Structure 1
Amino acid sequence: MPLDSPAKLEYPLHWAVFTNEQDELKELLQNRSTLEIDKVDPRGRTALMLAVTIRHFECARLLMDAGADASIPNKEMWSVSNEAVAQGNEEFVQSVIHHRDYQRATRGAQAMRRSLEKLRDVPDFFCEMNWDFSSWVPFLSQACPSDCHKVYKKGSNVRIDTTLVSFEGANWIRGNQSYMFRLSDQGFAEFIVLDHDERIAAVQELRDDDIFNEYRPLPGAMEDRLNNTISTTYIDVDNIGFERTSRGFLSWFTSGESNETVDGYDCKVLNASNVHFVTKRRYDHLTREARDRLAQEEASESKAVSSFKKMMSTNKTDENTKRDLFAEGAITPDQYLDPNYEFEPGCDIGKAREVVKRSNAFKATLWMADEYPLSLHDQIIPIVELMAVNSPHFARLHNFIRLQLPAGFPVKIEIPLFHIVSARIAFQNVNSPGKHVIPLDDSVLIEDEAFEIPQGYIIDDDGSRNYGITWEDDDDRNMRNRGGATGGGAGGGGGATGRTRFMRNNYSDDYMLQLAIEQSLQESGGALPTLPPGDLVAASSSAGAETEFFRAIRDSQVEADRRRREEEQFEEEMRKVLELSKTEQ
């Protein structure tokens, strides 16, 4: 009897999927005490991702039924649901979304409970997180808001107060809300939104024992996915590097390494280079009719929106493929699982891909303090994890601070949020006295009242007012912004039946781009009325607004060039003075 291939022994699930041996796969999954069901192969795919990519749908169903994670992306950052949509099988897409939403809800509830339990064992604290938003778009920085989140932590209870509620129309919406996380009497995580203006308390218990069928997508919810582009957005930090900033011309006289005082703490200032904000879209699954419709939609955009998209780095990528080696029978499982076997350019397994990539380079900045009263790992990251599930801003921050950062505490961080918007987050006023906060000699007392629902508030525990947590991806948000069919359970994204709980501040990056540019046009022209987004795009195409807008772009570029030349000239003069002083000694 021939010995099994080393690749088969190393990746038994992948081998069974590749060869479509369903009986063997069933046997492996029934006896998988030592089997890693979500193991990634040398090409960056889990067994589930491989099954979807090569259209072995029955193998994919067996893996999902056994608990394979339906949210793990491949190395190009496409999710399992993205790949499923690309295959064009509506019934299978619905099955993937169903499993994904159920897993996100149950695993998210478990993760939230673990975070709260972890916080129970660390010191209580209060701090403020100051968010300042900015943009390279002319005039948009003036319209970008700031917000100060007040963070209270006592035991396993967390409360975050905020005044920035959402971004609607072409305006940032202010409010007065508190987000509370705590453990219920049954031990489940509980998420509460206090709307202090409306005096409403929306209560959501995040359970990990929900019924699977509660997350079944609504009929017709998949059609919009299949007829629009597939998108993914992420911050690419594969080649990130941290380096100390210099003092400019002072570097001629000193060591050149920059330090700044932030909220009373001496901080090293470091730049993170090779940080790219990336959005990718796939078109290979679209029919000719869908492509024509999308082309018409792009043609209807204002000149300003189109011009800004062109200013970003948009290009075809090496992810585009023309040959499907698996369909052609031109590759064996041994070759596929061999990390040293190279595919020819334009070749891969799975259907041919057509991808457009938009990328912007950013320089993230860190202000790191060697000594700080809070622990990033034990106190801050668990709270950022909690907020990340209902705030795209915190989700970006969470992804960044989970990197291998330099030693110290990041008292201030500047990171990209969208292609045109960055955020500077500063921690401040740790354990300062105030409402619910009583400083002690070497600790702080946070009053229990901070985590209670105030008397007289209407309690909404059925989701009727659209508060609560969803587990969305970019396609979920894009579909909702286009007006696609979505319902929502706690899982929400695929249109699950039951409890509808969409947060109002989740918007796709393209939608944010459109609204931000419209806001810039309002600021620059001064004549555009406040209109719904569609009407505002039409209004922004007026000749007067376009002329003022591009004149502003030109003037800002001229001013930036002038300042840069002056700085370079000053540096050169200082260099000459220093050299002259050396020769005259």
Structure 2
Amino acid sequence: MSQTNSSSQHRAPELGLHELVFENNISQLSKKLNVKKENENFEEVRDHHGNTPLHLAVMLGHKECVQLLLKHGHEINVKNHYGWTPLQEAVSYGDRQTITSLYRFLRKQKKNSMKKQKPEIREALQALGGDFYMEMRWDFQSWIPFVSRILPSDTCHIYRSGHRIRMDSTLEDFSERRWIRGDISIIIDFAADGEPDVLLLDNKNKIYQHMKQTTVQEREASIEEEVDISMSTDIVDAAMKTKESVIESVNSGWIFTHHKAEKIGQFNADFYRISNLMLVTRKRREHLSEEDIKKNKMLRDAISKGEDAGKILDECEDSSDPERRQSLPAPEPSKITWKQYNNHRNSDPCLGRHRKEKLNTKRFEASLGMSAEFPVRLENLLPIFAALGTKAKLFSKLKDFVTLRLPSGFPVRIDIPVFPTVKAVTFPQFEFRSSIPSSMFTVPSTYKEEPSWFEKS
């Protein structure tokens, strides 16, 4: 008996779901999923390639398996050992119905994730102490000389009062599609149970949107747009490696050198250089046509020059209401058997479309201005930044920096040359306030509700 228990502890993960998906055995898969649901709290098992059952289902084009796994809550954004998620593999396979389903369920999972994060955010708010006001500035820069002066910058004004957060911004959106300037506010109330209450205000046009009240049609239209974009652009995985990084003081002066210090807004800061950082970027484009690749290059070039990429995009479309992207022809069915796949441990067996992958590795330096005068810690603000949802990719990089052995203080200026257009992020002001008007967290009576404006922007 003890031998059996001992051997079971070293046994490979139980891959019953994987095999049923691989064999496209719908009836047995459904039964097994229902049994697991009754037992509750089962951990998502990965095979020796890091693939979940959902990975296999999308790569093999087993659509009914995909729907069953989604219905039972299988994760969509989990990466396998090669860095790819089921959603990315679905884009590669090119079946629009499957991609749409994944995006639809991904939104549900994000909402559930936000509900689970509420205790963490409430704890972060409590750790910050009283109500406050702070500023966060984004500076954008092009690699091309003299272009930076025409690129936008944005100073975000953030207010906290109790369980409510407000952020005012002049940059509505910054993506590969177009620059959108405006005057918007995001108000989030974490008091209610369940999903946080989110209001989006367009202060220029005096309209607002209540995120919980968007219609099914508006949400579906937004999802369809996301699907179109993903089917027409590169699949990208980027990771910043910090293991070999070195942090050292920045000195200034020719003869009598001294530690570089500078005032950032209201805070005195000492500067440090982080060298030997590495950004590893992988791109896949097996799902793209030559026309897609050419258009995407034009968009990237336009952005680097500070031009409105949206104009180029509009010129590429035949009409103001372009047709949705169609599913790609299915790739050749995989000839690999389950036994061969399960024994294939030394390399990545390609189950779906033949990959066209490009790897780019870039070493770079980052600069930090650390201030001991800043009244809070970066770790306390990160959950709030994530909740606001602004520039989420860059904030994920900030989390990477938090894991480094940073000097003491708060990074009031961060120069991270990771994204070609983001030059720096600064935090020039932070102050606790005894009173912030409650009117800042309500919709003015002169504003008109237009639930569709944000979805269309």
**Is residue 240–residue 397 contact of structure 2 (8 Å, CA) maintained in 1?**
no
Q: Deviations over 1:318-346 (max 9, x none)?
A: xxxxx99962349535424xxxx312xx8
Whole-angstrom CA distance in 2 between matches of 1:400 and 1:193? 26
Residue 40 to residue 362, structure 1, CA distance change in 2 (3 Å): farther
Partner of 2:198: 191
**Is residue 273–residue 367 contact of structure 2 (8 Å, CA) maintained in 1?**
yes
Residue 431 to residue 71, structure 1, CA distance change in 2 (3 Å): same
Unaligned runs of 5+ residues in structure 2 are 306-330
Give yes or no for the alignment of 1:228 onto 2:228.
no
**Quick one: which amino acid aligns to residue 134 of structure 1?**
Q
Whole-angstrom CA distance in 2 between matches of 1:44 and 1:235? 17
Partner of 1:46: 52
Aligned to 1:161, what secondary structure does the other structure show? strand
Q: Deviations over 1:115-161 (max 9, x none)?
A: 65335523122211122222322222111233222211111100112
Partner of 1:328: 336
Measure how far apart 1:218 and its partner are: 9.3
Residue 330 to residue 163, structure 1, CA distance change in 2 (3 Å): closer
Which of residues 118, 131, 154 is equivalent to 2:138?
131
Instruction: Give the 5 Å matches for 1:13-412.
Output: 13-18=17-22, 20=24, 22=26, 24-32=28-36, 33=39, 36-104=42-110, 106-107=111-112, 109-110=114-115, 113-114=118-119, 117-122=122-127, 123=129, 124-166=131-173, 174-183=181-190, 188-205=195-212, 224=228, 228-232=232-236, 234-237=238-241, 239=243, 241-247=245-251, 260=262, 262=264, 263-276=266-279, 278=281, 280-283=283-286, 285=287, 290-291=289-290, 293-294=291-292, 297=295, 327-329=335-337, 332=340, 334-336=342-344, 341-343=345-347, 348-357=350-359, 361-370=363-372, 372-378=374-380, 380-388=381-389, 391=390, 394-403=391-400, 404-407=403-406, 408=408, 409-412=410-413
**Is residue 237–residue 274 contact of structure 1 (8 Å, CA) maintained in 2?**
yes
The alignment covers a number of residue pairs equal to 418
Which structure is richer in relative contact order (CA contacts within 8 A, separation 6 or more)? 2
TM-score where L is the length of structure 1: 0.59
Partner of 2:317: none
Residue 260 to residue 27, structure 1, CA distance change in 2 (3 Å): farther
Partner of 1:429: 429
**Is residue 132–residue 424 contact of structure 1 (8 Å, CA) maintained in 2?**
yes
Measure how far apart 1:303 and its partner are: 12
Partner of 2:451: 463
Q: Deviations over 1:265-300 (max 9, x none)?
A: 4435131533427362322x45xxx44x4466579x
Whole-angstrom CA distance in 2 between matches of 1:307 and 1:233? 21
Partner of 1:415: 416
**Is residue 260–residue 269 contact of structure 1 (8 Å, CA) maintained in 2?**
no
Whole-angstrom CA distance in 2 between matches of 1:108 and 1:416? 30
Q: Deviations over 1:477-501 (max 9, x none)?
A: xxxxxxxxxxxxxxxxxxxxxxxx2
Q: Which has the larger radius of gyration?
A: 1
**Is residue 77–residue 232 contact of structure 1 (8 Å, CA) maintained in 2?**
no
**Is residue 279–residue 418 contact of structure 2 (8 Å, CA) maintained in 1?**
no
Unaligned runs of 5+ residues in structure 1 are 309-322, 433-437, 439-443, 468-500, 505-585
Whole-angstrom CA distance in 2 between matches of 1:35 and 1:218? 32
Residue 205 to residue 305, structure 1, CA distance change in 2 (3 Å): closer
Give % identity: 23
**Is residue 270–residue 367 contact of structure 1 (8 Å, CA) maintained in 2?**
no
Whole-angstrom CA distance in 2 between matches of 1:401 and 1:423? 14
Aligned to 1:428, what secondary structure does the other structure show? strand
Whole-angstrom CA distance in 1 between matches of 2:300 and 2:414? 34
**Quick one: which amino acid aligns to residue 109 of structure 2?**
Q
**Is residue 126–residue 153 contact of structure 1 (8 Å, CA) maintained in 2?**
yes
**Quick one: which amino acid aligns to residue 411 of structure 1?**
V
Aligned to 1:83, what secondary structure does the other structure show? helix
Whole-angstrom CA distance in 2 between matches of 1:417 and 1:126? 28
**Is residue 20–residue 59 contact of structure 1 (8 Å, CA) maintained in 2?**
yes
**Quick one: which amino acid aligns to residue 328 of structure 1?**
I
Residue 375 to residue 49, structure 1, CA distance change in 2 (3 Å): same
Whole-angstrom CA distance in 1 between matches of 2:225 and 2:179? 29
**Quick one: which amino acid aligns to residue 451 of structure 2?**
G
**Is residue 136–residue 157 contact of structure 2 (8 Å, CA) maintained in 1?**
yes
What is the CA RMSD across the aligned residues, in angstroms? 4.4
Instruction: Give the 5 Å matches for 1:435-584.
Output: 438=433, 444-454=434-444, 456-460=445-449, 462-464=450-452, 466-467=453-454, 501-502=455-456, 504=457
**Quick one: which amino acid aligns to residue 182 of structure 2?**
G
